[in-house]
A and B are shown apart, each in its own frame.
Chain A
Amino acid sequence: MKHEAYRLLEGGDREGARGAAAHAIHATFKHGHNREQTREANQLTKMRKTGLASTAVLLALSLAACSSNKDNGNSSPSASQAASPSGSAASSSASASPSASQNRDEYKVDVFSMLSNFSGEQQGWFAKVVKDKFNLDLNIISSNLEGGGDVKFSAMMSAGNLGDLVVFGDDGQKYQDAIKAGMLLDWTQDGLLDKYGQNILKYAPKAIEKNKVNFGGGSKVYGIGFDVGDDKPGPSEARDLTYHPNLRFDLYQKIGSPPIKTMEDYLPVLKKMQELEPKSDSGRPTYAFSMWKDWDGNMMMNAKAWAGLNGFDEGDGFNNGGFTLISADKDEVQGVLDEDGYYLRGLHLYYEANQMGLVDPDSLTQTFDDVVNKMTDGQLLFTWFPWMNTYNTPERLAEGKGFALVPFQEERTFSYGYNPYGGNRIWAIGAKAKHPERIMEFLDWLYSPEGVTVANYGPEGLAWKKNADGKYELTDFGNQALPSNPTPVPEEFGGGTWKDGQNQINNTTLKLTDTNPDTGEPYEYDLWSSYLSKAPTKFDESWRAAMGGATTAKEYLEKNNMLAVNPQIFTGTAPEVISDSLSQKQSQAAQVIKQYSWKMVFAKNDAEYDKLKNEMIAKAKGLGYDEVLAWNKEQNEKVFGYRKQK
């Protein structure tokens, strides 16, 4: 089924060629009747030869297609055999717990992740950790990269197999369909969870409870949510938030740190910064906004980001996204196409930015990975997402260059509260998994203190080690490599670079700001006492001085009341699933909204921008936007009720 989408693409061409061959033969027979001219006969034999040859090629092609289609990416013995020598050679020299893996068969696990931005076999240090501990090879299937949208999901559902380990981007229709269609394993079956899931039961009991009540009819467990937090109030983020405007702080200071009141005030500032540094390290042009469209769902994700900076987001923490933007902490809902809403305001901001030459013209055609590479190279001056920061390497920080929070005065950044029930990105096990107990065991480890630490920061001795007090501290390698730098990893730990070897499944288990019971400190490395006591870099110092002594972005935003903390709720029911006719309207209107949003950003002038905007609104409404919006609002309002219950 890995080839399903590919086949869809290739199918047309094959069919065309097949038709051509059949017709060529047909044609030769037609011509054959006319025997007067010998040239026709010549032609006939020639064409017949061509016809036969192409038929043979076609048969071979279709056979190849059939056989490749059968290869579902399930553990094919030959492939894993071929992969094993290098793996085992590496493992024999390493020290990390070889006992567990030796007495088990190699097992290639298909990880179907609807969040991953990586497709293929997990590489590097994380692959080695998993191999040594569980003798598992993770084959990651990424729906983002394989067709985008729900293409891969639909294909795998139709094939009746979602792989061994499944990661859902939300707990809406797809997750509920998969449960209904029997594609997911019930963890209570044969006592699987009790036998192999002790860490999950210990560290995320409420998350299991939520899944049982919301999705399993009160008795069955089909999955568990991500970012399971401790049971406490306040923002759950570490130093940075999911959204906040990060700028090249050194450049911002060089132009005199002009005050920024509204979100539009960034534009002149960024323009000056661009004039100051028109070229990146490798001599490429710099941009304020370099965007990508492969994460767009119901709307243009990069435009939605501005809503996030104003305390609004597409999800309300319970229902899955639609055409509403919901306030984190107030009972307010905006429609995406509201004239005074943050979405259109964000679009207009990009339009103006593009007029000023601040938008990367590649935005339309590039993917997230391209943008990260530009970030690493220094082509960007701004980002909405602090976690995208690959620019701040130790070398650059020492030079005083780097990205840091430069807030706007009206900012109210969306913040997620601690959620003991787990978020809506779901880990599940496929019903057809060959050895569900081994997957359960692996997942359980990911939910254990050891697993959280190792899956994020590598095995002990590589990036971190225990110090005299039994707490963790970064090694020299860790200081170089974290958070995700392309630092070369020693061969004994799996080789490759730190960045490429990171866990590519792209879903979390326990919240990193939870307290690690082994150390009494958060899991998050930059909150370890050993890290906090480090002398700040030149860059950190200048930022802290400018921000009135705040040590982290979170601290500054919290102190200045610029956070909108989204309280977590427990509902006892699954989010309501949209009806099929509404869903059709939603997907059609969403396509229009996405398409026109991008066109509006690149509009040539105000008149064209307004024209496109009106067209977008008219078309979306014509396709049923209003009905979908009303339904979304109705669901969001239920959540406001739940918020008050708490």
Chain B
Amino acid sequence: MEPIVRASGESVVRRSRGLPERYRLFLYALPFIVLVFLFSYLPLYGWIYSLYNYRPGFKLSDTPFVGLQWFRSIFANPTQTAEVGRVMKNTIAMSSLGILTSVLPVAFAILLSEIRAMRFKKLVQILTTLPNFISWVLVYAIAFAMFNVDNGLINKIMIGLGWQDRGINYLATDSHTWLAMILWGTWKGLGWGAIMYIAAITSIDQELYDAAKVDGAGRFRMMWNITVPGILPTYFVLLMLSIANFINNGMEQYFVFQNPINKDHIEVLDLYVYNTGMLGTNFSFATAVSMLKSLISIGLLLFANRLSKLVRGESII
């Protein structure tokens, strides 16, 4: 490669400006390499806390080294193991539900792109994208305003219609917790998740549709045979992202929605780590538990990769 590049006049001009191309490219990438290092690799150093008896405020070197004590304590006692098992079950269940619902933005994007009334289409897109920019704390505030007992909209309506004789605390229930959480998440993320697909759909060659129309394909036929295959590559890339991310950014939602009644089913790994580490002030134990998260992440990633290989014949890592 290199001699050819050097031979071309263009690269001579570049060289005379100073930096060879490979350095220039490297410099382009450098900020991202630094970011990745800072936010993805540096934090791994924190795993060392799991080997100490850490208390905030003290230097790590001033706290006693305990070896694998905290790891052993996860499995030392059956109740503790059951607790971690429960948390893992919640994590995996909600992750899987999240993956299942990742087709919703695709369907939404396809349906949206079929709308011909531009104004209405834009309106729908804006309204569905907006919730993504509301923080979970505010989403909970909305939920509270709707569902609280004394002033909640839903309770008022139900009592007004005579379907309930007194207020019910809808937020404090443990039935269908997983489903409710997925619904909130879908409400918040649907429009945002569809953006990439809408971009992908608009870039599908119009000629393909024209040709299909000539061949007598109907609207659904075109969706199925042109649009869907056209955005499938994007879907798989984003699927992998959502798999990798779901386990990461789940914490806030569950944190704001948790209460003693639904805690059994809402406590995912991140939340459990927070509850034991930050609320229970046991950072070392929480670190040890949080390392389980890496195991799940790797498992999910391999699963997505396998799926991609099966469906597309191409792996993503």
Contact = CB atoms under 8 A, between A and B. Distances in A.
Interface in A1-39: 5, 8-10, 12-13, 15-16, 18-20, 22-24, 27, 30-31, 37-39
A46 B203 contact: yes
Contacts of A233: none
A364 B259 contact: yes
Given A149-B280, A158-B56, A178-B57, A362 B150 contact: yes
Nearest to A154: B56
Contacts of B36: 22
Interface in A45-78: 46-47, 50, 55, 59, 62
Interface stretch (B13-21, B93-101, B217-225, B246-254): B246-254
Nearest to B246: A16
Contacts of B260: 293, 364, 594-599
A365 interface: yes
A43 B39 contact: no
A591 interface: yes
Contact of B249 (A12, A40, A361, A619): A12
Given A149-B278, A365-B172, A9 B79 contact: no
Interface stretch (A307-315, A480-488, A507-515, A582-590): A582-590
Contacts, number: 175
B178 to A, nearest CB: 18
A206 to B, nearest CB: 29
B251 A9 contact: yes
A148 interface: yes
Interface of chain B, helix or strand or loop or mixed?
helix
A148 B279 contact: yes
Interface in B236-284: 237, 240-241, 244-245, 248-252, 255, 259-261, 263-264, 270, 274-276, 278-283
A599 B169 CA distance: 13
A591 B275 contact: yes
Given A27-B237, A150-B279, A622-B80, A177 B57 contact: yes
A619 to B, nearest CB: 6
A587 B286 CA distance: 12
A357 interface: yes
Interface in A604-646: 618-619, 621-624
Interface in A152-205: 153-155, 157-158, 160, 177-178, 180-181, 183
A496 interface: no
B169 A361 contact: yes
A454 B282 CA distance: 41
Contacts of B248: 12, 15-16, 19
Interface in B154-169: 166-169
Interface of B: 31-32, 35-36, 39, 53, 55-58, 69, 73, 77-80, 82-83, 135, 137, 144, 148-150, 166-169, 171-172, 195-196, 199-200, 202-205, 230, 233-234, 237, 240-241, 244-245, 248-252, 255, 259-261, 263-264, 270, 274-276, 278-283, 285
**8 nearest A-B pairs in the assembled complex, by CB-CB distance:** A622-B79, A157-B57, A587-B280, A598-B260, A181-B57, A149-B279, A43-B203, A157-B56
18 contacts: A9-B137, A10-B252, A12-B252, A15-B248, A24-B196, A39-B230, A59-B31, A151-B279, A158-B56, A181-B58, A362-B169, A365-B171, A365-B172, A587-B280, A596-B260, A598-B260, A618-B79, A623-B79
